[in-house]
Amino acid sequence: MSLHPLVFRKSSFSTTSDCVQWAHAMDGVYVGDSKDAEGLTFRVSYLEWDEFTAAVLAGDAAPGRLTHEAVTTDVSVFLAADSGLALKFNESEWAAFKAAIAAGEVHQRHAS
């Protein structure tokens, strides 16, 4: 966990309070789910975050420890870490996250 309080952000394109959330810190980017703000978070390096968000935007498989997989039966996306733990997002939550990536919101580093 970061030594500084984490300030999580979510997409400005989200129409609900539920979305992928992220926090920039000195030791990397923390990723979680705003539906469970106190729940599971993953920490990745800034390089891994950049690779992951570029892959999501391009519709490619992510090359690093974070992966994403669409499940067409219920239109969900699972965001998983190499630990096997996963976060689940519905289609509108994932679309808002992708829009945030396209708008550059996920790379705006704020003091943490």
Per-residue pLDDT tens, the chain, 112 aa: give them. 445 688 889 999 988 878 889 999 999 999 888 888 778 788 888 988 898 889 888 887 666 667 766 665 554 566 666 677 778 888 888 889 999 999 999 986 654 4
Report the SS3 class of residue 14: coil
Helices (H), 1-112: 46-58, 91-102
Q: What is the pTM of this model?
A: 0.80
Tokens of 93: 């939550």
